[in-house]
A and B are shown apart, each in its own frame.
Chain A
């Protein structure tokens, strides 16, 4: 199902530290997962994706980990910067290229 909530969980992180954002997904048949970054008043921006036949994928300063056993996805951001402050959403492809978005996590980077 879709996640709906009135309050976004917030992760406060010191500039330069690493950030870890977690996400639980619902459909064990989902074969493709994506992390998006959304800044205020803008559309989601693709960060990194991973297919279900992988358990780890790395990008520039970001790593996505997939644990299919417990249906858990995480995004690690290395050396977090002020520009990383945003809301982060995980999404799962539940078939027909339809994406189901998680509830989102707000990341606040403290200088």
Chain B
């Protein structure tokens, strides 16, 4: 089946530093990937759509200069949280949509727990 991985699975960083999270589709190609954020006991909130070879599109209220997204290949998207602050601590989840025609399903990664101290 389609597998999406994320790295790291968890990370602790100091306030003011930057953290990069990777999202990989392991056995399929994904022109489009999505980044979500989830706070404890809350639902997933879409942050941005990552498009291979072009700029990401961000949801309203999400700072594009703070959450840098790069989708350099058909199997890899990265999210960099710049100048992280404690309020950025959250569970970050990516998903990838299979390029093949007729496939509507999005496959989710296992998530990355970010803690900013």
Contacts and interface: CB of A to CB of B under 8 A. Distances in A.
Interface in B3-55: 4, 6, 32, 34, 41-46, 49
Contact of A97 (B6, B106, B107, B108): B106
Secondary structure of the A side of the interface? loop
B104 A32 contact: yes
Interface of B: 4, 6, 32, 34, 41-46, 49, 91, 93, 95, 97, 104-111, 113
Residue among B6, B95, B104 with the most chain A CB within 10 A? B104
B42 A46 contact: no
Interface in A7-61: 7-8, 32, 34, 36, 41-46, 49
A45 B108 contact: yes
A49 B104 contact: yes
Contact of A4 (B43, B104, B109): B43
Given A6-B41, A49-B105, A99 B113 contact: no
